[in-house]
Chains A and B, each alone.
Chain A
Amino acid sequence: MDFEALAMEGGFARPVLEAQSAFRALMDALARPGTSMAGFPVPGPPAPLSPEAGAVALALCDPDTPIWLDAAMREENAVAAWLGFHTGAPIVAHAAEAHFAFVADPGDLIGLENFAQGSQDYPDRSATLVLQVASLEGGPALRLAGPGIETERAIAPRPLPRHFARQWEQNNARFPRGIDVLLVCREGLIGLPRTVRIHQQEG
């Protein structure tokens, strides 16, 4: 593995405090699905890993959490090297072995069923997908409902994995198993825990 300075720089400037702030934002995002969290500190990872996705990695990943990278992330060696240096997490080739997936190109993502879904006994042994979207607006309108949402919430991120609403319905059907999703972009961070229900508005 090539260990250019690129891979070793760009960690959190104040690792403990900044990782805690990022963790707080993540916790809020998952407690209030669909609400965009912003203003948390971000590191400077090598492209195409975004600063917001990098913050998620530094807050949540460690040597016990294997990471899967999509093709766009894999293309740049520095991404795996940066994650390895700053989190210690191993990079795995098989999606099913990963606890976290970092996805630079959500529109091209493999089916959600390819990731670890957890077991009936240990539903926590499932993958969390971090999808780098271009924007939290301008995509197909999605209506969210479920725990953490009083009535209903509307979001329209883009791009999303193909047939996302239908795939999510299948994800719901596997409950308590199933994956969780974090959408990240410049504007902030949105959590989609497996408990959230998603309806795509027609037209």
Chain B
Amino acid sequence: MYVAVKGGEAAIENAHRLLADRRRGPRDVPALTLEQIAGQLALAVDRVMAEGSLYDAGLAALAIKQARGDMIEAIFLLRAYRTTLPRFGYSKPMDTGAMLVERRISATYKDLPGGQLLGPTFDYTHRLLDPDLAGDDMPEQPERREGAAEESRMPRVTEILAGEGLVEPDGALPDSTEPADITRTPPEFPQGRDARLQALSRGDEGFLLALGYSTQRGYARSHPFAGEIRIGEVEIELDVPELDFPVPLGRIRVTECQMINQFKGSAKAPPQFTRGYGLVFGQSERKAMAMALCDRALRAKELGEDVVAPAQDEEFVISHSDNVQATGFVEHLKLPHYVDFQAELGLVRQMRREFEERKQTSTVKEAAE
């Protein structure tokens, strides 16, 4: 039976008004500006850009404000917005070696060329809440080291290591004419590493973090070292038909992680260090590291390893990494399922009746015996 019902219009409208009021908060407190969000909650903005898969700090800040700070809601808003825009094309592959570096560390090489640059990191803070931040005290100006070398390529640790042949080279793909694009082609498994990396780059930070952690705890152990993490701005260029040179579009900030994994070799590959790669919008170190761990784990088949753990299961990881998809399916359970439930209720009542009848017959039988 199908029962069409209508209603709730006034309730929904009032709910929207109430939401707008609660979003605004106490009216005697000044409203947040987008510049404040982008400038002072920059890492939240970065996360929304990364998982919304759209680089635009102003829009991400607006999304955070509109979502009252609910990050997945903000990511959803950004994803929805991007579908309204036409695609101009694909950029030239960016060169992270030519990055204007703001942070660059290696856990494998102390004295790497260019040095260990800590940048604006939480790493050496004591994780003690700072009551002074409740006020509006201006911090000191950052220290400057004059005469820092003007613009030179900063080689990646993996480039330095590659010479010896003990580390596998950057991931080449066989007959990679056109990189996969998961925003254009529905997913099919198995996927290429290019498609997986695209999915991981927009994947939920918490989900990837948990999976990366699971590999460290023994579910697909991969003996990782953080070969290099770098954060900074990279130039973007686009080939367009009307100009005979690639057009510079400006710069974006990205975080890159080169994970180096010990590998004892398999039937397919000699003993060497293998690699996992992470590349994420903004300053998103945890996400880039988790992504690199997952990338390496998902290469199990390619490297001839047994697939024994969740992090190595491509279909499991990729199908569940997108938090917009995940929240859509989980949250749709809130929508009216009145008719489905009525049907289920009827079914359970009937089964219960049959169960009681069976019980009664068996009691009668027992009594008769």
Contact = CB atoms under 8 A, between A and B. Distances in A.
A and B touch in the complex (CB under 8 A): yes
Interface of A: 1, 3, 7-8, 62-64, 81, 84-85, 88
Contact of B89 (A7, A8, A85, A88): A88
Contacts, number: 21
A63 B88 CA distance: 6
Nearest to A91: B241
Contact of B242 (A8, A63, A64): A8
Contacts of A63: 86-89
21 contacts: A1-B241, A3-B241, A3-B242, A7-B242, A8-B242, A62-B86, A62-B87, A63-B86, A63-B87, A63-B88, A63-B89, A64-B87, A64-B184, A81-B241, A84-B241, A85-B241, A85-B242, A88-B86, A88-B87, A88-B88, A88-B89
Given A81-B241, A88-B87, 11 more contacts: A1-B241, A3-B242, A7-B242, A8-B242, A62-B86, A62-B87, A63-B89, A64-B87, A85-B241, A88-B88, A88-B89
Contacts of A84: 241
A154 B86 CA distance: 38
Interface string B288-307: 00000000000000000000
A8 B242 CA distance: 9
A64 B241 CA distance: 15
A90 to B, nearest CB: 9
Contacts of B88: 63, 88
Contacts of B184: 64
A171 to B, nearest CB: 25
A46 B339 CA distance: 58
Main secondary structure of the interface of A (DSSP, over half): loop
A62 B87 CA distance: 7
A109 to B, nearest CB: 26
A84 B89 CA distance: 11
A127 B87 CA distance: 20
Contacts of A64: 87, 184
Nearest to B88: A88
Contacts of A88: 86-89
A3 B86 CA distance: 23
A3 B244 CA distance: 10
Quick one: which of B86, B87, B241, B242 has the most chain A CB within 10 A? B241
Nearest to A87: B86
B187 to A, nearest CB: 13
A63 B241 CA distance: 12
Nearest to B183: A64
B245 to A, nearest CB: 13
A1 B239 CA distance: 13
Interface string B230-250: 000000000001100000000
Contacts of A81: 241
Contacts of B89: 63, 88
Nearest to A62: B86
A85 B88 CA distance: 10
Nearest to B243: A3
Interface in B74-105: 86-89
Contacts of B242: 3, 7-8, 85
Interface in B175-227: 184
B230 to A, nearest CB: 31
A62 to B, nearest CB: 6
A90 B241 CA distance: 10
A63 B87 CA distance: 6
Contacts of A3: 241-242
B180 to A, nearest CB: 14
Contacts of B241: 1, 3, 81, 84-85
A71 to B, nearest CB: 21
A7 B86 CA distance: 20
A64 B183 CA distance: 11
A193 to B, nearest CB: 23
A163 B184 CA distance: 36
A85 B243 CA distance: 11
Contacts of A1: 241
Nearest to B186: A122
B247 to A, nearest CB: 13
A35 to B, nearest CB: 30
A24 to B, nearest CB: 18
Nearest to A85: B242
A82 B270 CA distance: 53
Interface string B57-79: 00000000000000000000000
A64 B85 CA distance: 13
A143 B184 CA distance: 38
